[in-house]
Amino acid sequence: MRPACFRLLSASLLLPLSSFAQPAADSAAHPALRRTAEAAYQKKDFAAARDAFAAALALRPDSPRYLHNLAATQALTDRPDEALATLRRLAALGVATAVERDPDFASLQGTPAFNAVRTALAANREPQGQADLLVELPGRAGIIEGLAFRDRTGDIFLGDVHQRCIWRRDRDGRVTRYSAEDEELLGVFGLALDESRQTLWAATAAVPEMSGFTKDQKGHAALAAFSLVTGELRRVVDVPADGRDHVLGDLLVAPDGTIYATDSSAPIIWRYLPGAEEMDKLVEYPGFVSLQGLVLTHRTLLVADYANGLFAIDLSDSAPVVRALAPPPHATLLGLDGLAPAPDGLFAVQNGVSPQRLVRIALTPDLATVTGVTVLAAALPHLDDLALVTLVNGRPTFIANAGWDQFDPAKSPRPPAHTVRIFQAALP
């Protein structure tokens, strides 16, 4: 799931506060830096805004939005050479922001150096990699977020946030509703299969984008378990009430049946032990902001944080140990959403950058260092509004045109009909 609160500070967007691969203590300074920068920009005190963005970037050097906004305030304070150098750093990340439409860069427009930067950013918007269309689902009126593939039957399960249900597509292409219509599920996000226990698990949460949302449901979230044999809802395990809002966006099943789930709102990593009455809090860490996908490798959880990059959590001891993983040079770990295991690391949907993309994140064998980020698919036709990822026959498979981008619940009670597509990335 993607937060809906990120904006750039400039003509059209307001920069989010991000915490990328830094100690937890660093993230504590960011709310003050953000407030200072925003207030200064609104007052047109661009020098103060520039200094605040520079301080933020020192803590989050791979943030495209901080780079964009620092460059903008440098241009506004008559520092063209610094602004151009910052924009070159932005282009080197392989992403793009709309500098050509930003009036803050008016003083640079038309210069050869700025034109060269624009050319470099435009190159980052060109198609990269390859993604093969696996499934096309026209006329969907929901928000398809979760994805699970059952090797034994060839079934693809889809979690629908808006219609509060699970769909099943069989190997012959027939799509039917898997969860019963009378079940009072919340919005369905991530899905995970437990073949040994014949169970399909779903992460669910009450969000404004789901049909029938009411304010008294806000903040509620739960795990739901379905029988793979009958489709029957076996149990619902609510997130313990603690006075905070909760959104369970993704989950995984460990070999022993333990469920690990990320809460993007609190933010907390929850654990549910087989047969337990309720889930318990596994990790709450100061550096977490918006937790998303997760993968278990041996006794290490690799967890994406939409605002703070990638974390490794060692579960070997009784008390989990959290480490933030630094991005390699000329790469960003901003905006990671769904994760799936790869032979040397992770596959990840990165929908918090432009263009949205599927990447391969290489890690050292001890999972201590990110050694590279490779784009597998980006800026290809229909490759936008990306959601979660899973493995199908060993290949990373992910949802596009999920329905988030086309839907504003304040304007319409339901998303417009659209074609959901499921792509498989071609591996090098």
Over 80: is that where the pLDDT of 20 sits? no
Query: Contact 377/357 with Cβ under 8 angstroms?
Result: yes
The answer to whether the peptide bond before residue 355 is cis (omega within 30 degrees of 0) is: yes
- Given this model, what pLDDT does residue 38 score? 83
Long-range residue pairs from 342-350, CB within 8 A, at least 24 positions apart, any chain: 342/396, 345/370, 346/295, 346/302, 346/310, 347/376, 347/389, 347/391, 347/396, 347/425, 348/293, 348/304, 348/389, 349/293, 349/386, 349/387, 349/388, 349/389, 349/398
Q: Which residues contact 85 (CB under 8 A, 6 or more apart)?
A: none
* Domain ranges, ordered by start, for the chain: 24-124, 129-425
Query: Contact 373/359 with Cβ under 8 angstroms?
Result: yes
- Which is more confident, 13 or 158? 158
- The model's pTM is 0.92
Topology of domain 24-124, CATH:
1.25.40
State the burial class of residue 24 (Cβ atoms within 10 Å of its Cβ: 0-12, 13-18, 19+).
Answer: middle
- Which is more confident, 14 or 83? 83
Question: Average pLDDT, whole number, for the chain?
Answer: 92
Topology of domain 129-425, CATH:
Neuraminidase (2.120.10)
- Which is more confident, 181 or 195? 195
pLDDT tens column, 349-383? 999 999 999 999 999 999 999 999 999 999 999 99
For residue 27, what pLDDT band results from cuts at 50, 70 and 90?
A: low
Decide whether 24-124 matches 129-425 in CATH topology: no
